[in-house]
Structure 1
Amino acid sequence: MVRSFFEYAGSDPARVAVVHTDGRQVTYGEMRDDANRLSNFLWDRGLASGDVVACLLPNSYQLMAVVRGAAQLPLHLTPVNWHLTAPEIAYILRDSGAKVLFTADPFVERAEEAAAEAGLPAGAVVALALAPEGGAARLTGPVGAASAAIPRDRAAGNRMLYTSGTTGRPKGVRRPLRGVVPDEATGSAVARARRYGVDHEDGVFLGLAPMYHASPLAYADQALDVGHRVVLLERWNRERVLEAIAEHGVTWLYLVPLMMQELVALPEDERAALRVGSIRSIVHTAAPCPPHVKRAMIDWLGPVLVELYGGTEGSATVITSEEWLTHVGSVGRALPHVSLRILDEDRREVPVGEVGTVYFRNEEMSFAYLGDPAKTAASRLDGHVTLGDLGRLDEDGYLYLSDRAADLIISGGVNIYPAEIEHALLELPGVTDACVVGRPDEKWGESVHAVVVADRPGTEEEMAAALGAELRSRIAGYKIPRSWAFAEELPRSSAGKLLRREIRESVADDRADAPHLGQDAGPVL
C-alpha cells in the first residue's frame, strides 16, 4: 500500500484521524467524506482550476477538513492569519484573487467586513460551526449538505501562503499546480517523515501552533498521509501541552524556540516527573534556537530534536540532534534535493568559513511571489533563492546562520550580528527574552542597542551595567550594547518570530532615554 490519507480512509475507515480541540474524535472515513463534501461544494460554487480559496479559521477539525477538500482539487488554498485586521485580510483576499473565504466564530464579522472591502460578492464568506448544536455534525450549512461522493476532476492542489510581512506588505508564495492525482502528490510524505524520524505508523502528532503558518499546517497535514492521529490544541499553553502529551501518547510535535525556552524553564525535578517518554521527534524551525536551550532539551528528552532551516519559500537544510552535538549552533546540511551557496555582495562564492548571503535551490519547491516579478527576480540567482539570511559553511558542509542581512549592524565599518549578542544575553541569569538592533549613532553610524526582558534586582541603569559586565566574559567588547531598554515583553508574531522592525523603529524615534555604557563599548577599528 502506498501510504496516503485516502488509502487509510479506504482500508481502515475507523482509524482516528483528528482529535478536535474539544476532544471529539473524527475517523479517517468520516474525514474523507467531509473532504469530498468540501470539494463538491467548491465545484458547485463555480470555481475552476487555478482559482484560490482562502480560510480564516482557528486550529480545528474544520480547518483540516478544508485543507483536505481543497488539496484534492486543482486549486490554491490560502490560510489567513486570524490576528489580522479586516483591512489586512482584505488586502490578502484582493491580492490572492480568492473566490471563497471559509471562516467560523468568532471571526465571521471581521471576515465579512474584509470580503466587502475586497469587493467579493455576497455569499463569498462561508461560515462553519466549530461546535455544532448536538455535537453530531462536523460540517454545517450548505457545505454539510453537499455530496460525499468522490468529486469530479480530482487533481492535486497547492497551498499559497503569504510571507509574514515583517519587512513590508506580505506576498503570496505561489507554487505551480502539479497536474497529478492527490495520492501521487503525497508520495514524498513518507520520505519527509523518515527525515524527521516520524515514519512510524502508530504516530500521534500534537498540533499546538497556529496553523495559518506554513510549518504547523504542513506537519499536521503530512501526519495524515502517514496514518497518524492529529491531536489539536487551540493555542500554545505549556501546561496544556504537557497534559496532552501524557494523555494521548504524543510521538511527535512541532515547536519554535520560544516554546522550548518555556519548557526548559521548568525546574529540573518537575521536568523529570513529567510523562513525556512517548516523544520520538520534535521538529523545530522559525527562528534561531539559543544553543543552551537546545542542549537542555536534548539533555532532558534525548536526541529527538530535528531542526530545519528555510521559510515559506521552501526548506534548505536539516540537522539531527546527534549531528548538532558535534556541530553546535549549526542548522544543518543541505537536503538531498537542495543546492546551497554562500555569496558575497557581488554574488561570488565565498571561501569556506566566511560569512555571506545564503542562497539555496529546492528542486521540489519552485515558486514565484504573486504579482511581484521584481521581488521574485531580486531573490534569485541561477535558480537559487535567498531569504535574506547571512551565514557560513564549515568544512563538513554544515550551515551556521549569522543573521538576516536586514538586521546586520554596521558600527564604525565593523559587521555586528545581533543574534550572537542575543544568544549571549539569554544565557545570563534572569534574562528571559532579548532583542538587539542598530541605533543611529553620529560617531559610529550605528551602535548596538539591546531591549531586554529580565527579572533582576536594581534600577535600569544598574541592570544595564551588570548585564554589560557579565557579557564581557562571553563576547568581544565591541559587541557589548552601548544602550539598553527594559520591557515586560517583546513584540512577537504568533509564530514566535521577533518583530525586530517594530523595535528598530521605536529606537530610531527615541534616542535619549536608554541607559548607556561607556564609550569603550564602541567597535574595534
Structure 2
Amino acid sequence: MTSSAPDHFLKPMQPRGGGMLIADDRVAMDATAFAEQVAGLAATLSKAGVGKGDVVAAMLPNRIEIIIAIYAAWQLRAAFTPINPALTVNEAMHQLSDSAAKVVLVDEGSRAILAAVDIPKLDLDSWTGLSGDNSDIFPRQDDLALLIYTSGTTGKPKGVMLDHANIAAMTSSIRQALRLGPEDHSLLAMPLFHVNALIVSVLSPLVAGGSVRLLPGFDRATFWDNVRTSGATYFSGVPAMFILLSEQAGVIDAAPDLRFAICGAAPMPAPAIAAFETRYGFPILEGYGLTESTVGATLNPLDGPRRPGSVGKAMPDIEVRIIDEDCQPLPPGELGEVAIRGGNVMRGYLNQPAATAETVVDGWLRTGDMGQLDANGWLTLTGRKKDLIIRGGENIYPTEVEHALIATGLVSDAAVVGRHDPVMGEVPVAFIVAGESKELEELEALLPHMLAERLSRFKVPTAFHFITEMPRNPTGKIDKPALRARLDQALQQPVQANQK
C-alpha cells in the first residue's frame, strides 16, 4: 500500500479560497475553519490517549461535529464508528464494547443514556476546543477508517470494517457516476450513522471540492423549502421520503439548482418514481448497495435511459454478477444471489473471521439479495435470502425483535415478519403465543412499553397478532411464509402499537 494520504482525507482540509465548505443549522465553516476545528479535536483526542489503530465513537444526532470527529480520528490514524443516538444503553454498549472504542463523543441526550457506561466520554456541548497541528500525521490506504454496524442473521450487530482504500474507491466511483465537481452542494437529511449519509452525501462531495449542508433530519413540512433555499444540487433519500413528499399538497415550486436525487436503502415502486418525477421535475436515480460494499454497487444512469423497477447497472470500477449456491456465475436472465467485486468491498467483519469468509469469497461479496441481470447489465432485485425487514431505510432483523418479545416474560413464542406499508416500505408485525395465565388485555397494555425498554422505536412491531400455536415446517423451524399468508388473509384482529 502507498504511504501517501488518501485524497478523501486531504482535499477537504485544503483552503478553497473562501466560501462555505460544510454547515449545519447552527454554524457554517469554510475549509480553513473546518481544518482548525479538526486539528483542535485531534489534539483533544490525542490527549485522551487516542492514537494509531484506536477507535473513536460518537453517539450524536446530525451535527457538524460528527464530520469534524471523523477527520480528527483519521488525522491520528484512528478509526471512527457512529452510533445511532436512538439506541438503548444495551444496544449502544454492544457497539462500544465490540469496537473497543477508546472514547465516545456525546451530547446532553446520549450522555444521559450512557451515564452508567464505563468509557471515557467527551461532551461536545461543553467542549471548548484546543489548538493543535497534526498535519504531519495522515492515514494510510490500509488503515481502518470506518466501523459501521449492521445487523447480522442472528440479529446481533456486526462491525463492517471499511479502510481508506474502500472509501477512496467508493467516492471515486460515485464522483464518476454523478459527475460531481466543485459546483455541487449536497443537502443531507438522512442520519449520519448510515454509510449512505457519510459516503454519498458528505465525503463524495467534499472530495469533489463541493460543499455540504446538514439538516437535523427529514421533515416533510420543511424539507423542500430547504432544498430550494440552500442551493442544493442533489440529495439522497429513502423511498419513504419521496413518497411523503409526493403527498404534499399545493403547488411545488421549482428548485433550479437541483440536478437529481438518489434513492436507495429499499426498493421504490416504479409508479411512485414516475409520479414523483412528474410532479417535482427532476430525476430520481435509484441504486443498490449495502454497508459491506461501502454503500454502492449499481445505479440508474444520470443521463438516461433509466429503468424504474431496476436498480440500474454496475457503477464505475465495480463488477456485479449473479451466482448460484456454489458461487458460480449464472447467465443473463437467471435468478440467483447478487455478488459484487471491486475496491469498495469491505475488509471484513470485525472480530468475525468465519462470517467474513462466508460473505467474501474469492474477492466477491455475497450480498444475500436475490436478483437477475439482463443481457445489458440491468439489475432487478427480486427478494432477500434473509428475512431482513427494511422500515423507511432502517434495517430490522426479526430475530432481535423476537428475542426481545420473549425476554418480556409475557410471551411463550414469537415470530416477526415484514408487512408492506405504502410509506415506510415495510413494517414489522409480530405473531405471538401468549404465556401461561396471560390475558390478552395484559399483553395489549404491557408489550409495547416493555419492548421500548429493549429496542429502538423503529424496531417495535406496529401490530401484534395473537395465535394459539406457532406454525412450523418439518424441520421444526417457524413457518414464516405461512405467517405472511395469515397476514394477507387477516385471520386475526391486530392490536395496533407504535404505528408510524
Q: TM-score range by the shorter chain?
A: 0.7 to 0.9
- 2:219 corresponds in structure 1 to 237
Question: Which residue of 1 is the match for residue 100 of structure 2?
Answer: 97
**Aligned residue pairs: how many?**
412
Q: Shift in Å at residue 504 of structure 1? A: 11
Deviates more, 1:54-63 or 1:153-162: 153-162
Contact kept in structure 2, 1:5 and 1:227, CA below 8 Å: no
Determine the structure 2 residue equivalent to 1:173: 160
Give TM-score scaled by structure 1 length.
0.70
CA contact (8 A) 1:318 1:332 kept: yes
The letter for the 1-side match of 2:235 is L
CA distance in 2, matches of 1:12, 1:55: 28
Structure of greater relative contact order (alpha carbons < 8 Å, 6+ residues apart): 2
Aligned residue identity for 2:216 = E
Q: Who is 1:459 aligned against?
A: none
**1:508 and 1:342, CA in 2 relative to 1: closer, same or farther beyond 3 A?**
farther
Does residue 54 (structure 1) correspond to residue 38 (structure 2)? The answer is no
The answer to whether the Cα contact below 8 Å between 2:170 and 2:343 also exists between their aligned partners in 1 is no
| Mean Cα deviation higher: 283-292 or 10-19 | 10-19
Conserved? CA contact 2:75–2:134, under 8 Å:
no
Residue 16 of structure 1: SS of its match in structure 2? Answer: coil
2:285 is the counterpart of 1:282: no
Report which of the two structures shows the higher radius of gyration computed on alpha carbons: 1
- 1:58-77 matches, cutoff 5 A: 58-77=61-80
- Residues in 2 aligned to 1:358 and 1:187: alpha-carbon distance in whole angstroms: 20
Q: Deviations over 1:375-410 (max 9, x none)?
A: 1122133221122100001111111000111249xx
| Partner residue in 2 for 1:369 | 349
Aligned mate of 1:305, from 260, 284, 300: 284
Partner of 1:225: 207
1:355 to 335, 346, 352: 335
Find the residue that maps to 2:251 and give its secondary structure: helix
Separation in 2, partners of 1:4, 1:155: 11
- Give the C-alpha shift of residue 21 in structure 1: 1.8
Q: TM-score, normalised by structure 2?
A: 0.73
Compared CA separation, residues 26 and 515, structure 1 to 2 (3 A): closer
Q: In the TM superposition, what is the alpha-carbon distance from 1:14 to its structure 2 partner?
A: 2.9
**2:132 equivalent in structure 1:** 148
Structure 1 residue 331 corresponds to structure 2 residue 311: yes
Give the partner amino acid of 1:293: A
Distance 1:454 1:323, change over 3 A: closer
Deviations 1:297-331 (A, max 9, x none): 33234453223211111122121265454x33111
1:19 is the counterpart of 2:23: yes
Give the secondary structure class of the aligned counterpart of 1:112.
coil
Equivalent residue of 1:300, what SS? helix
Identity of aligned residues (%): 26
Shift of 1:80: 0.5
SS of aligned partner of 1:175: strand
Distance 1:350 1:192, change over 3 A: closer
Matched letter for residue 128 of structure 1: L
Per-residue Cα deviation, 1:141-161 (whole angstroms, up to 9, x for no partner): 4xx02x232344222551111
Q: Equivalences for 1:124-523 in 2 at 5 Å?
A: 124-129=120-125, 140-141=127-128, 144-145=129-130, 147-156=131-140, 158-164=145-151, 168-176=155-163, 189=171, 192-197=174-179, 199-218=180-199, 219-267=201-249, 270-271=251-252, 274-302=253-281, 304-314=283-293, 315-320=296-301, 322-323=303-304, 325=306, 327-407=307-387, 451=419, 516=489
| Separation in structure 2 between the aligned mates of residue 301 and residue 393 of structure 1, nearest angstrom | 30
CA RMSD of aligned residues (A): 3.6
Q: Which runs of 5+ in 2 are unaligned?
A: 1-5, 399-416, 424-450, 452-456, 471-482, 492-500
Equivalents in 1 of 2:268, 2:360: separation in Å?
27
